[in-house]
Amino acid sequence: MTQEQKVSVGIVGASGYGGVQLVRLLKEHPLVELAYLGGDSSAGKPYSDLYPHLGHSINLNVEAIDLEIIASRCQVVFLGLPNGLACDLAPPLLAKGCKVLDLSADYRFTSLETYSKWYGKERQDQAIASTAVYGLPELYREDIKNASLIGCPGCYPTASLMAISPLLRQGLILPETTIIDAKSGTSGGGRQAKINMLLAEADSSIGAYNVAGKHRHTPEIEQICSDLAGHEVRVQFTPHLMPMVRGIMSTVYATLRDPNLVRDDLITIYNAFYRTSPFVKILPGGVYPQTKWACGTNLCYLGIEVDPRTDRVIVMSAIDNLVKGQSGQAVQCLNLMMGWEESLGLPQMCFYP
């Protein structure tokens, strides 16, 4: 494919950790040309001023956000902005013929009332929002193929939903017993300075936060769980901050409807459920995932166990929060939207050790 035949892509909000992951992935994607990098506070600066290690490869400047310029250059636009901004930019970009992938929470919810309750912004774009597809390919692959607007999932929901989806879709658990215990590296908090993310604060310590349904990803997880189960589902979700840079480990506990199910039964069910999903790796019995295995990749590792004493299933899910949990998954959605091979341009070999 010649340079002229490649799909031109822009990133609005290129300065954060999600943005730089997109730059890395799209720069190495064989069918994409990176045509625009946009930002606010960093506008006018060479991208290499923000990330000097990319100076040999990226010679673009960060530009002010101008929708006319973006639409004139880009067929596809990734929005990597704080919550509450994409919903102002996506409608005019779509009207100008761009495909839009939003990495914030703005287009993840089927109910804008739920979004406004949790994110504090009133919305007037119901018609546009109703066309958005939740960007988890393993669940909504066919819908993504036909969409022009994708609401890319959060990193905690991605890890958690990958673990629990087969159980809910097949009706194998009592949904009300679901507990999600999730742990994330500090890069999930973004690049802006925060006291709790300082090395002196985060190192050698583990802490829970936003406990008892206070985390904004709770309603996002419950929305998809309810869709899978066919009725309203509430889960107990507790996030933790870990003293590491990358990765999420989400451990899901739930009571089985049939206490006679054993681990091998569930491994067979999971392998069948994810048989067409190239990035999901179901581990053999007795092998449990580690976040390091997924580091730098778009993979999700799933380990499954059954405790016959309590009749509970335990599913462990490990991903890289910045790749499968964010930018890599967005590129996976781009591949589906464009009719390309789903795994094109996405890494499957981790940084190790």
The token pair at 142 is 């066919």
155 among known catalytic residues: yes
Please tell me the distance from the alpha carbon of residue 342 to that of residue 329, in angstroms, as a whole number: 10
Residue count of the chain, please give it.
Answer: 353
Hey, how many other C-beta atoms are within 10 angstroms of the C-beta on 287?
12
| 58: CB partners within 8 A, 6+ apart | 23, 27, 34, 47, 48, 51
The token pair at 187 is 């890069």
Instruction: Output the CA angle 105-254-289, nearest 5 degrees.
Output: 70
Q: Is the dihedral of CA 327, 211, 197, 62 positive or negative?
A: positive
Please tell me the distance from the alpha carbon of residue 137 to that of residue 127, in angstroms, as a whole number: 23
The catalytically annotated residue of 87, 155, 295, 350 is 155
Tell me which residue of 190, 183, 134, 181 sits closest to 329, measured CA to CA. Answer: 134
Helix (H) or strand (E) holding 157: helix 155-169
Active-site residue numbers?
155
